[in-house]
Amino acid sequence: MKLKSTLGLAIGSLLAASSFGVFAQGQGAVETEVFAKRYFTDSVRNMEDGNLFGGSIGYFLTDDVSLNLSYGEYHDIRSNEGTNKNVKGSLSSLDAVYHFGTPGKGLRPYLSAGMGHQSISNLSPRTGRDHTTFANIGAGLKYYITENFFAKASVDGVHGFDNHQSEWMTGVGLGLNFGGNYSKPAPVVEPAPVVYEPEPVEPETVRVELDVKFDFDKAQVKQDSYNDIANLAEFMKQFPQTATTVEGHTDSTGNAAYNQKLSERRAGAVREVLVNQYGVEAERVNAVGYGEERPVADNATREGRAINRRVEAAVEAQVQ
């Protein structure tokens, strides 16, 4: 494979990846890279130092651990055996990489280890190709210019099992990370304090209502609903004698039995936010689903269906 083809494939991968509408990080992400390295050869092999150009592709097994496959071709290496021949060849490697820091954020140092296979020709006085299996170790630093585009600097050491020689390389690279499922921690919402002023003589009934909307066929609580849920939780903490029932609903699209289960999941998702994120006692929050049975808008229109995909709750308390 020619260097032009190798770089073309790697650059093409970067351009194709950049066309994705949504990028992600962490486990399941794919990482592509093009690199250039300075290859410092062992003097016993009578070769001048040269360059290695190529590309790599990796897959993140976890948020921090990736498995990377790389291929590069040597350039500007000459034999010092009197023939001054241009040494040609390639290096293929498979490495496990452990990253430190937060995916897609600022600087991420890393350590790597793996195996490589080198194939070179024109190395006097031998004829044909010289094949060597390497053990690889490395360290480096990635800097994420954006959440998914990064620059990299690296130092790699290799030791040949066949020739018992140790060599090393330094390099730089550019890469793109996309397609994973890393979820950023939800921002901490600081709800505004709710102040209630009671009537001087007669007790007053105060009430907080919750109306959380959902996307079609989804049961995930959207980020813009967290403030409303936080206000309800704060109210219940101010009045510890209160309890509530979280009621899930759907529009009429699809099978009624499926919609019943979907409404229960939606109610459960809001209950989980109240209990697990905002600290309301679990025994004070019940969750039920009513499926498509209780519409509040016309299911014949898109706007009406959007209104019916909801979770409702209400809490009342008596104050002096």
Domain definitions of the chain by residue range: 3-178, 204-319
Q: Using an 8 Å Cβ cutoff, are 111 and 130 in contact?
A: no
Domain 3-178 top-level CATH class = mainly beta
The predicted pLDDT at position 27 comes to: 86
List the one residue out of 145, 134, 307 whose CA is nearest residue 216.
307
pLDDT score of 143: 92
Identify the pLDDT of residue 229.
Answer: 93
What value does the CA radius of gyration of the chain take, rounded to a whole number of Å? 31
pLDDT number for residue 1? 42
Please report the beta strands in the chain, taking only residues with DSSP state E, as ranges in sequence order.
Answer: 30-40, 50-60, 65-75, 77-78, 86-99, 107-121, 129-144, 149-160, 166-178, 204-213, 244-248, 285-289, 310-319
User: Contact at 8 Å (CB) between 160 and 133?
Assistant: yes
204-319: CATH topology = 60s Ribosomal Protein L30; Chain: A; (3.30.1330)
> Among 206, 195, 189, which residue's Cα sits nearest to residue 314?
206
| 109, 144 contact by CB (below 8 A) | no
DSSP letter, residue 222: P
Query: What's the confidence (pLDDT) of residue 196?
Result: 62
In terms of C-beta density within 10 A (0-12 exposed, 13-18 middle, 19 or more buried), how is residue 161 classed?
exposed
At residue 16, the pLDDT reads: 47
Question: Angle at the Cα of 286 (from 281 to 292), degrees rounded to 5?
Answer: 150
- Structure confidence at residue 57 (pLDDT): 95
Spell out the residues 6+ positions from residue 136 whose beta carbon is closer than 8 angstroms to its own.
93, 95, 112, 113, 114, 115, 116, 156, 157, 158
pTM over 0.75: no
Whole-number pLDDT of residue 21 = 40
Say if CB 262 and CB 219 are below 8 A apart: yes
Low-confidence residues of the chain: pLDDT under 50: 1-4, 6-7, 9-11, 13-22
DSSP 276: I
How far are the Cα atoms of 34, 44, 167, 229, 234 from residue 152, in angstroms, in the given order? Answer: 10, 30, 21, 42, 46
pLDDT of residue 189: 76
User: Looking at residue 82, what is its pLDDT?
Assistant: 57
**Three-state SS at 96:** strand
Q: Is the link from the previous residue into 295 a cis peptide, with omega within 30 of 0? A: no
